[in-house]
Structure 1
């Protein structure tokens, strides 16, 4: 086990060492890279030794330490659907460094390959799905519903995962960049890669923070228009309502586990290269320091920001309307140590990569007053994070 002092290595240097098959996660505070597998968390709902995923993770960490691992950390991905198994491991070696510094990406970015594109669902079918969701909202079955779509891209050249990761990290330093090895599918290696702006929850000692995002506008290259869109978002009754639904659910989920929670009265604006978002930082103090970051994360997941509200009714509507399995998209990625400290990120602005293909994902929140064509445009804008990292500038 190699645990590097953050002063001895920069996040940029650590990122250059990333190879496909590693577990990489960069946050605004630190950069973490795991390689090899010392132990895997074996937990499937209803078929496991431990009743919860968080308990299974802590047991795996304890067993790894007893087996001689000096500083075991669990890292990996949890799917959107809680009925599916998570992919979490204790890497053989872990390097930890400071955050990624902004700057020009290393351009080993020879994206001259041609792509075959397949939108799933087709744009017109996605709009029909949004209208279906609006009908359910009008009937009172659901208050909010998040509907997503995907873009399957097949290339005649190998996908340059390392280059895409470098581009994502350098252009999203205020967010969370990740590239995580996934279980093979049909004997094909897979990597979950992305740059999420949204922290689900972090825990350090007794301190807890969640940062739900809901309500968005695409950025504009024109500074005047860009500011107009930001001003419109912060005053939009529809978006403020959508955001309030998410923040309320986050507080309600954390309440049983925290003795003190602070929620700002009004949201603030944050921006990525491609989007404006309404943001609220929810801070709290956990009742029991032994409560792990993953226990907090599973209490929150899935939030109305990626599923809807009420959760079960929204989840059922997603199964009815979306023509694909989200798998890890809108799940969570993150890490947890033996003290239970860690951070878990909402898995958005992401793609699943194989040797010759990428499947990009994006979703949009549907509430009363939403318009199908606007939600379609929003998902397209959100896909720009991955497309730009691939060297594709077209909409």
Structure 2
């Protein structure tokens, strides 16, 4: 069985979590490298077995080295699913599932915003106005139909919660949907099922699927037209799953009842974009709240994969060719950070702390 002798990590964890990660590999040499120091990273992985990365697989990891497993500490692996990475033959895993509970909540947040017409109620509250015209026609979630497109970790968590709300559920996935026997319909693309029944019956269409060449613009003029009038669309997947221009058209002509959007084809969404000003659109700027101790959930995935690696078992969240997407369709994600080189550019650590949180250590000796 393979043994792990050296691990190189670039993740941005606090002291306690770095110590916990180090303990996943108690018998291995453990080296920390700032993710933006490409020269040192290249040097350290030459004789390493495992790399635990903050972002995507950097080109500097594809040279001459002894890596046998790379872990990317985020959910989507599209940025790493590149031909040169597959050609290198190193297994790559991700952190899919660590934030599934709150991503499910995020979907429900959007759905409830629609049901309770939050913008109208807040405007009435600001004016001291009792009641909103038409509120006697509003309906909650109970008894309505939700169509979930993508039954991976996030979709399954969402299905469990919407079932508890008493909703009718239709699921659509590339692969057969196992379990979730309370779903009213299970549709499988690989078995020839069309997305049409979900679109035609759902009051809410929720996207929780990965962005691939197959799913790029899965929501477009054709699929939007097939949705019944008044449908509310939720996208907490990836912006590229929706054709933005077609979405705007469906909202402007009134066929779509509204949308809850966390992700967009262009991020940040330009301030002059019409979606910002639509009364029936709710926007969050790619900002799902974190689960309690998200790093801890990531470490448990890494711990399980370390066990599987040394036991010769299939790795969890393993990247496959199905994760690949054409370069012109890919979203930036970590790509800009991936190409930062400390030897050539000045790194704004305060800016990193704004988005990643402030680390409570400056030297690895504090947690090693």
TM-score normalised by the chain length of structure 2: 0.27
| Larger helix share, 1 or 2 | 2
TM-score, length basis structure 1: 0.25
Tell me which of the two structures has the higher relative contact order, counting C-alpha pairs closer than 8 angstroms and 6 or more residues apart.
1
Higher Rg? 2
Greater strand share, structure number: 1
